[in-house]
Chains A and B, each alone.
Chain A
């Protein structure tokens, strides 16, 4: 069965420090991977995706993610965190189990950036 895991419920980082939000996946085919961000009482916003090609994917707001096939991971990174990056982050993977458009979401990681 397809699945995606975000092992950390919360990540705390000081402003200006690099941040990493972890995601691992399990799929039966080629992984299509996505990161979304959610601010309080808002919908999810797309950050970036990996479909194929370069393992380092650059996205919105200075975020990037590294696809690692051997470790089945797709960690979200940013070189220098901002207080405004504080939000809930979701990793998602395309579901190969039926409807090919459907995404499977992780449980979310709350990023808290301290000033």
Chain B
């Protein structure tokens, strides 16, 4: 079955560490997105990518970095510069055209310990 896979499901980070969240899709979708979700809040866009080797900052990109070396993969690194990284992170993908909406992964819950 085609889908979008996020790993790990739970991740714990120590202060000052960088961590990388994985997002892989086998849907042949061109565009991929990373969102952050905090309790009681909606989705906030971190980064997005429309094509391989290109990506744009979203609304809250500070303290995060991404790469898009392959169409299938869009990993997110949460750097030590992100002062409040504890949140639920969602990856999504979609086809070009705007008609189809997103397919979401099941999320990664990141906790700073």
Contact = CB atoms under 8 A, between A and B. Distances in A.
A69 B30 CA distance: 31
Contact of A46 (B45, B56, B95, B101): B101
Nearest to A99: B50
Interface string B77-92: 0000000000010101
Contacts of B33: 102
Given A106-B42, A107-B42, A101 B104 contact: no
Contacts of A67: none
Interface residues of A, number: 23
A43 B105 contact: yes
Contacts of B30: 101
Interface residues of B, number: 28
What 8 pairs across the A-B complex have the smallest Cβ distances? A43-B104, A107-B42, A44-B104, A101-B31, A100-B98, A43-B106, A34-B101, A94-B98
9 contacts: A34-B101, A42-B106, A44-B104, A90-B43, A100-B96, A101-B50, A103-B101, A105-B43, A108-B41
Interface of A: 32, 34, 36, 41-46, 49, 51, 90, 92, 94, 99-103, 105-108
Given A92-B101, A100-B97, A101-B31, 19 more contacts: A32-B98, A34-B101, A36-B104, A41-B88, A41-B107, A41-B109, A42-B107, A43-B6, A43-B104, A43-B107, A44-B104, A49-B101, A94-B98, A99-B50, A100-B96, A101-B50, A101-B94, A102-B31, A107-B41
